[in-house]
A and B are shown apart, each in its own frame.
Chain A
Amino acid sequence: KAGVTQTPRYLIKTRGQQVTLSCSPISGHRSVSWYQQTPGQGLQFLFEYFSETQRNKGNFPGRFSGRQFSNSRSEMNVSTLELGDSALYLCASRSGTGGFSGANVLTFGAGSRLTVL
């Protein structure tokens, strides 16, 4: 069974640009969550999508947005990039229903490492 796939793995942008990151969840998983990982702030929740609807949102500015498609693939977008947006962006999927049974544990992708110059 294929895992969570994130593309691109590495990218470099300059301040003011925007970026789109992609995440393909495990087949059959309907929930996709995004996290930002930085040395200073650690792992922080960005948002979760389930069946194309945003179900929960973390404390990030509106420059951070996401969406989910009917095939459960998800994208996140960061506009007007700032130096502080340099981070590893992790996507995780789960089946999205019920409690934290084995099927509902978050499975993470390898991440997209964004560097903003």
Chain B
Amino acid sequence: AQSVTQLGSHVSVSEGALVLLRCNYSSSVPPYLFWYVQYPNQGLQLLLKYTSAATLVKGINGFEAEFKKSETSFHLTKPSAHMSDAAEYFCAVSDLSNTGKLIFGQGTTLQVKP
């Protein structure tokens, strides 16, 4: 069965510092992987997706993620944090049935300190 583990439910960084949010997945086949962001009282917004085209994926707002099969990881990074990046971030893997079912991690809340 597919699964996703996000390491660290809360991450705190200073403005301008590197952001690193960790995601490990479990999948019996090459997965499709996603990062979504959720701001307070809003739905989920897609940051980026991995669909096997390239291992380094660039997304919106300066975020990127690297797919590492050997480590079963898909960590999200951003070189320099902005105050506006404070939100909850979710890593997700697609269900093998290729329907609208995504399996989400528990989420990581990013705090950005001035």
Contact = CB atoms under 8 A, between A and B. Distances in A.
A31 B99 CA distance: 9
Interface string A22-62: 00000000011100000000110100101000011010000
A32 B49 CA distance: 19
B43 A109 contact: yes
Contacts of B87: none
Contacts of A100: 32, 49, 51, 94, 98
Chain A interface category by residue count:
20 to 34
B90 A56 contact: no
A56 B104 contact: no
B44 A48 contact: no
Given A90-B44, A108-B43, A45 B49 contact: no
A85 B48 CA distance: 30
Contacts, number: 69
A107 B100 contact: no
How many B residues are at the interface, by size bracket? 20 to 34
B43 A99 contact: no
Interface in B68-114: 90, 92, 94-95, 97-107
A58 B43 contact: no
**Which 8 pairs across A and B sit closest by C-beta, in order of nearness?**
A33-B100, A108-B43, A48-B100, A43-B104, A56-B99, A108-B44, A45-B101, A110-B43
Interface of B: 32, 34, 36, 41-46, 49, 51, 90, 92, 94-95, 97-107
Interface of A: 4, 6, 31-33, 42-43, 45, 48, 50, 55-56, 58, 90, 92, 94, 96, 99-101, 105-111
Given A48-B100, A55-B99, A56-B97, 12 more contacts: A31-B100, A33-B101, A45-B100, A58-B101, A94-B100, A99-B51, A99-B98, A105-B46, A105-B49, A108-B43, A109-B43, A111-B43
